[in-house]
Amino acid sequence: MHQKNILQGIIAYPITPFDRQERVNLSLFKLLVERLVLSGAHGLAPLGSTGVLPYLTDEEKEAVAEAAIQQVNRRVPVVVGVSNLTTERTIYHARFAEKAGADAVMVIPMSYWKLTEDEIFTHYSKVAESISIPIMAYNNPATGGIDMSAALLKKLLQIPNVTMIKESTGDVQRMHYLRRELGEAVAFYNGSNPLALCAFAAGAKGWCTAASNLAPDSVLELYNAVQANDLAAARAVFDRLFALLQFIVAKGLPRTIKAGLKIQGVESGYLRSPLQPLAEADYRQLESILLGVR
Which residues in this chain contact its own copies in the complex, by CB under 8 A? 22, 49, 52-55, 85-88, 109, 112-116, 118-120, 122-123, 126, 143, 145, 172-173, 176-177, 179-180, 194-195, 197-198, 201-203, 226, 229-232, 234-235, 238-239, 242-243, 246, 252-255, 272-276, 279
Nearer to its own copies, 40 or 252 (CB): 252
Q: How far is the CB of 58 from its own copies (least distance, A)?
A: 9
Q: How many residues does the chain have?
A: 294
Least distance to its own copies from the beta carbon of 76, Å? 26
CB neighbours (10 Å) of residue 188?
Answer: 23
Q: How far apart are CA 242 and CA 244, in angstroms?
A: 5
Closer by beta carbon to its own copies, 265 or else 273: 273
Beta carbon nearer to its own copies, 99 or 235: 235
Instruction: Give the torsion through C-alpha atoms of 195, 199, 202, 203, to 10 deg.
Output: -170
177: left (phi over 0), alpha (psi -120 to 50) or beta: alpha
Please answer whether residues 13 and 50 qualify as being in contact, where contact means their C-beta atoms are separated by less than 8 angstroms: yes
Residue among 64 and 76 whose Cβ is closer to its own copies = 64
Judged by CB, which is closer to its own copies: 101, or 141?
A: 141
Shortest distance, position 238 Cβ to its own copies, whole Å: 8
DSSP string across 270-285: BPPTT--PPPHHHHHH
> Residue 86 Cβ, how far from its own copies at the closest point, in Å?
5
Closer residue to its own copies, CB minimum distance, 38 or 231: 231
Nearer to its own copies, 103 or 221 (CB): 221
Min. distance of Cβ 180 from its own copies in angstroms? 6
Please tell me the distance from the alpha carbon of residue 51 to that of residue 208, in angstroms, as a whole number.
13
What does DSSP assign to residue 225? H
To its own copies, the closest distance from the beta carbon of 19 in angstroms equals 14
* DSSP secondary structure code for residue 18 in this structure: B
Residues whose CB falls within 8 Å of the CB of residue 58, separated by 6 or more in sequence, listed in order = 89, 92, 93
d(C-alpha 290, C-alpha 102), whole Å: 33
Residue 41, judged by CB atoms within 10 A of its CB (0-12, 13-18, 19+), counts as buried
Residue among 242 and 283 whose Cβ is closer to its own copies: 242
97-111 burial string, b = 16+ CB within 10 Å, else e?
bbebbbbbbbbbbbe
Least distance between its own copies and beta carbon 117 (Å): 11
